[in-house]
Amino acid sequence: MSEAPAVVLLHGFTNSGASWQPVISGLGQRYRAFAPDIRGHASASETTPVTLEAVLEDLARFDEPRFTLVGYSQGGRIALHAALAMPRRIERLVLIGASPGLEDEAERADRRAADERLAEQIETLSIEEFATIWAQTPVLGGLDAETAAAAHADRVRSTPHGLAAALRGLGTGALPSLWERLRELSVPVTLICGGRDAKFTGLARQMAALIPRAEVVIVPGAGHAVHLERPDAVVAELQRVVPADEPVTET
């Protein structure tokens, strides 16, 4: 039997590695799944500096020589940068509700300014207060009560200071656009979007037109956070694109 394939899962802004637990459980022993806390979040709330370069160095230190990289939202944007920075390490990309960033420099500048204002606001609030406010973000709407409660419990693992640093260092305005580099991606890419997430479904289709080996998967009824709303669908897609042997049962 060959070794179980390694899968690294990168969470989104305000989430933590624990948010992937339903997906990890669904994958079972046929996979070796790893979901680190990205700098500025949860157990890495006080880890500095919170920069793209530092996060990529964290990923480069991962023990597995080759792995599938999965990223949601901000984690998906980081995953794109990682795939371009270490193409020999990453076998496949699976991106959920992700984009390559903002191509227009003026738009990026406006977003940086907005992110700085939000970071300053975060630093005046308790983590409970900010988690409650962030849950009202329109793109995150439509969660059922149980999923929303789990998302809130995950967010309060972080600190206001850490999330403010993550926004300043890893936010949409902070990271350079990768639109012009999508054609450089040599690995197969699966772009997963929720059927209710019109904005990111449109972005995924634009990205797929530029990436040499890309496919778009739409999950009906789901919103932006497909892995939270429909972990079963994400598990099914990972099992489809990353085949694994059946585990050996000891007798």
Report the pLDDT value the prediction gives residue 123, as an integer from 0 to 100: 98
Report the pLDDT value the prediction gives residue 225, as an integer from 0 to 100: 97
The domain over range 6-241 is classified in CATH as 3.40.50.1820? yes
Surface-to-core class of residue 167, CB atoms within 10 Å of its CB (0-12 exposed, 13-18 middle, 19+ buried): buried
Query: pLDDT class for 245, splitting at 50, 70, 90?
Result: confident
- Secondary structure E strands in the chain: 6-10, 32-34, 67-72, 90-96, 189-194, 214-219
Report the pLDDT value the prediction gives residue 1, as an integer from 0 to 100: 46
Per cent of the chain over pLDDT 90 is 93
142 or 189: which carries more pLDDT confidence? Answer: 189
Query: pLDDT class for 3, splitting at 50, 70, 90?
Result: confident
Indicate whether 246 pLDDT > 70: no
Across the range 159-186, mean pLDDT stands at 97
> Which residues, other chains included, contact 63 with Cβ-Cβ below 8 Å and sequence gap of 6+?
none
56 or 244: which carries more pLDDT confidence? Answer: 56
Query: pLDDT class for 2, splitting at 50, 70, 90?
Result: low
> Which residues, other chains included, contact 189 with Cβ-Cβ below 8 Å and sequence gap of 6+?
92, 93, 94, 95, 207, 208, 211, 213, 214, 215
DSSP designation for 11: -
Across the range 193-202, mean pLDDT stands at 97
How many CB atoms sit inside 10 A of residue 195's CB? 14
User: b/e for 51-68, b at 16 or more Cβ within 10 A?
Assistant: bbeebbebbeeeeeeebb
Question: What are the domain boundaries of the chain?
Answer: 6-241
DSSP-based three-state secondary structure for 230 = coil
- Mind listing the pLDDT tens digit for each residue in 114-145? 999 999 999 999 999 999 999 999 989 889 99
Q: Which of 186, 219, 226, 206 is nearest to 91 (CA)?
A: 186
- Mind listing the pLDDT tens digit for each residue in 77-96? 999 999 999 999 999 999 99
N-term to C-term CA, the chain: 16
